[in-house]
Chain A
Amino acid sequence: MSGFQYEAPATVEAAVGFLAGAKGNARVLAGGTDLLVQLRTGAANPDLVVDIKRIGELRQISGNAASGFVIGAAVTGAEIGEHKELAKAWPGFVEAMELIGSTQIQGRATPGGNLCNASPAGDCTPAMFAAGVVCVIAGPNGRREAPVEQIPTGPGKTSLAKGEFIVAIKLPARAKNSGDAYLRMIPRTEMDIAIVGAGVNLTLDASGACTAARVSLGAVAPTVLLVDAAAKALIGSKVDDAALARLAAAASAACKPIDDKRGTIEYRTKVAGVLARRAAVIARDRARS
């Protein structure tokens, strides 16, 4: 690890100023649970690191289920897990965030960091895809918003322009009879990285028919996938066995995985369907309750 410039500004504008003015490679530091590891292994060699944890608005959760929650980009997993109303409205998103690492990591890790690390195997990211999160992005030209699925573009790569960073993620207003869930396959029970992940978010009408759904998959393509065909398999159904089977098939069909040290193409493709189906059952049961 060689030396780099470190800044910890107190405002979004100052952070944008540092990032926009950076000569060479700049990195945003939130919890650092990915970046610090990359610095130590030499995988990251930034010239500038901008720590955003001292920016007040990035450390807050506001809003509610009816209006939608706004979660600052530097809010940690532990803080998200302790937010009762958030956990009640979005249990799948909260569980996905809390799956990451250990208790110690939970005190640092952030959903924005998970998204911008742009690993296809990140756990919170598929849950945010399923939830339909909108990202608030600050940059040299002010603020803009973008759907979460537009952020990662490949392993370690995002669509954010020079000088831009995510200041908040917005969970949409929660319709009643909605539920979400995220499941991942890891060889151990915790402290591990997903071989496959699947997120499902759905809304039922009074008859129990699915009126809206979003299905996401992790670790089966260069980025987290939003699988419209899998969502369509649910919409209009009672989320019964036949619909679940169609969902599983659609999820598996959407996979474009690789063989690597963590799993095979065959395994990931099959288990993506299994996990999507199981997550849909959990989301459905949550929507019903």
Chain B
Amino acid sequence: MAGYEGKAFKWVGTRPVRPDGVDKVTGRANYGADQNLAGQLTGRILRSPHAHAKILSIDTSKAEKLPGVKAVITGKDFPQMHRGVLPGDEGVNFHYLSSNIMARDKALYDGHAVAAVAATSAAIAEEALALIDVKYEVLPHVIDVDDALKPGAPLLHDDIFTTGVNPKPDKPSNTVQRVHMALGDANAAFKDADIIVERSFKSKTVHQGYIEPHAVVAEWCEDGQARIWCSSQGHFMVRALTARLLNMEVAQVRVMPAEIGGGFGGKTIIFIEPTAVLLARKAERPVRIVMSRDEVFRATGPAPGSSIDVKIGAKKNGMLVAAVGEFRFQAGAFPGSPLGPACMAAFGPYALAHVTSAGYEAVTNRPLCFSYRAPGAPLASFAVESVIDEIAQKLNIDPMEMRIMNGSKEGTQMVYGPKLKAVGNLECLKAIKNHPINKIPLGPNQGRGLAAGFWFNLGGQSSAVVNIAEDGTATIMTGSPDIGGSRASMALMAAEVLGIDYSKVRPIVGDTSAVGFCEITHGSRVTFATGMAIIQAAEDVVLQCRQRVAAMWEVDVEAVVWEDGHARPAGANAGEQKPLSLAQIAARAARTGGPLVGKAAINAGGAGPAFAVHICDVEVDPETGGVKILRYVASQDAGKAIHPSYVEGQIQGGAVQGIGWALNEEYIYGADGRLQNSGFLDYRIPVASDLPMIEPIILEIPNPGHPFGVRGVGEVGIVPPLAALANAISRATGVRMMDLPMTPPKILAAIDAKK
């Protein structure tokens, strides 16, 4: 790997127009629902109206007889998967995955798919759904995580035996797992504390709220191959899971990535693709399924609700002594809740000698709880940062100074194993400390809240190809869906290494048959890991160019250097050669060894953890409980911002989603276990007028694990806002909100209760 430290970048760090931008603003870009094949049918899914019910029978005969209906399927049409997790499956329980996509003997939540039809029109498909007769035996259900953990709670599965406890239980329960990680001995260390604050927090399920509903077009071919067009955060994931669930060989499934209208973690798993393939196979025609918004809310993978206890002890001067977090996370109807990541991230901003981070995950009669931007961390951080703030209030010390005093930094031992390398926690804190917002005086009913956040970020497997055209322009291809401007970042990094203009580089997201394997776009990994693959593929091209020029000049390859897009003699000994541009070398490719193709396939380690610190000012209406956000500033360490505008977009987007989570977003269930707000009217994501300017501050503390110093930026921005808002509201009103979301009725009730 070439050394880039101290190098002045030409392209990295600039803000060019995104390569996918024009197609998006003109409407030319193809999203999941935009694919159209000849003879395509409309697929629709029948969903359970019950939270928990035994499926006694499904009679599809009337639907099948309806003119225009070409296929009807139920759980019986899906291959039976092995029960449990097989070695080599990386913890994926394919029986559960398949059963979530189409219910088998039981419907486990309101919205659980029980049958599907493909018909020549949407109206006929809808009519056919109404003709399917499902006989249910309704069972008692459980929605809340604390209820689900209780002995005697309605049991969802007969094969969940809690893992991580000793002895291993001999009876099934809803409790999926016990996670426990610790440093030192927190419980013993509390005796050294001058102050101990212990609080309990609750939160509700929230949805990622991506604008594009899940959509797929599937085609079954007579030779046993399937082709799938869909928007996802990983078409290789779609291919692998679909193939496995349908007992197909992986290479017989080809998945074409569409543009994606938002994912935020919610499109890192499949919900409808195997259904579309089975319908297409049965109907012998292509099938398109597009979820409605109601289906997206009821039957995709929102973030879990939680129940959390946090206990933190400190000295009078604010030095932390010990901390314990007990995190109880909902899974949905199947395991998959991000409990482990929450335990890892909870205390990330603090250097603690004695800390325990532990919890339980329990299945509930809800849709699968899955990944949402820094999965689990916002909830854990909300609880921890609220308690830290309360300690600062009780000790009457500055919450900023308390965080700086205890801040994690290079060398800090993390509870989940590693010691931190160079990170930007203290820099993020100091950037907020020195921001002018702190000098703005607050009026009546106003408060200022501060919170820090941590996310460990991921690396992983990525492939990249750099194809040099005959004129020296480049097409670069990866298999990483672009959910946040990553194509622009890939093109900038390739332009930097190749030494050619950004405009000469066209970045493409290749399909599963066109490019090497790439893991899903998650964990803020793409600009880091896939970017590293792009850098190496471009370096591969540069090396090939130097080799070809060396052969032309009849010198050793070491005698040819690559500078500013040209091969040049390394020094006088290499001879008086005129520099050759990439275009000139490309023009001679046929005579010098054939096409110029650079490749890289890597498993990137060294992802640098991300830190963020947010501060906000709010005003609370003491008579209605309404919260107005007056000002908001967010600092974040990007390592190196490849395209600063898109880093700022990630910071702002994370903050806005966190604000929605803090104030209004929640799944609301009735006593019948049915979701009452499966639409954007009563599931309240923030609208533009709810928000002040979110002022982003990018800090660049290089990640030693990346050639350009990049660390992931996509997720940590959603971690601090929940507590930043709660802390600001606490200081504005004198009441501490420990139950999310902090809606006007809840805040007013808390204010009135204090009077």
Contacts and interface: CB of A to CB of B under 8 A. Distances in A.
Interface stretch (A144-152, A153-161, A181-189, A230-238): A181-189
A262 interface: yes
A267 B684 contact: no
A217 to B, nearest CB: 15
Contact of B689 (A41, A190, A263, A266): A190
A1 interface: yes
A195 B747 CA distance: 15
A185 B689 contact: no
Given A261-B668, A264-B745, A271 B624 contact: yes
Contacts of B625: 267
A124 B664 CA distance: 25
Contacts of A1: 123, 126
Interface string B535-569: 00000000000000000000000000000000000
B745 A188 contact: no
Given A1-B123, A190-B687, A195-B744, A185 B624 contact: yes
A185 B676 contact: no
Nearest to B748: A267
A275 B623 CA distance: 9
Nearest to A183: B624
Interface string B733-755: 00000000001110011001000
Nearest to B664: A187
A18 to B, nearest CB: 24
A193 B680 CA distance: 11
A14 interface: no
Interface string A107-144: 00000000000000000000000000000000000000
A187 B623 CA distance: 14
B748 A270 contact: yes
Interface magnitude class on chain B:
20 to 34
A188 B690 contact: yes
Range of interface residues on chain A?
20 to 34
Interface string A250-268: 0000000000011110110
Nearest to A248: B623
Nearest to A266: B749
A189 B745 contact: no
B748 A192 contact: no
A262 B743 CA distance: 10
A261 B677 contact: yes
Nearest to B681: A193
Contacts of B745: 195, 263-264, 266-267
B689 A267 contact: no
A133 to B, nearest CB: 26
Nearest to A3: B123
Contacts of A36: none
Contacts of A191: 687
B687 A271 contact: no
B722 interface: no
A263 B123 CA distance: 36
B410 interface: no
A189 B624 contact: no
Contacts of A2: 123, 127
Nearest to A102: B687
Interface string B125-151: 011000000000000000000000000
B143 to A, nearest CB: 14
Contacts of A279: none
A23 to B, nearest CB: 21
B626 interface: yes
Interface of A: 1-2, 41, 185, 187-193, 195, 261-264, 266-267, 270-271, 274-275
10 contacts: A2-B127, A185-B624, A185-B744, A187-B664, A188-B689, A195-B745, A264-B749, A266-B749, A270-B752, A271-B623
Q: 4 tightest A-B contacts by CB?
A: A267-B745, A189-B689, A274-B623, A261-B668
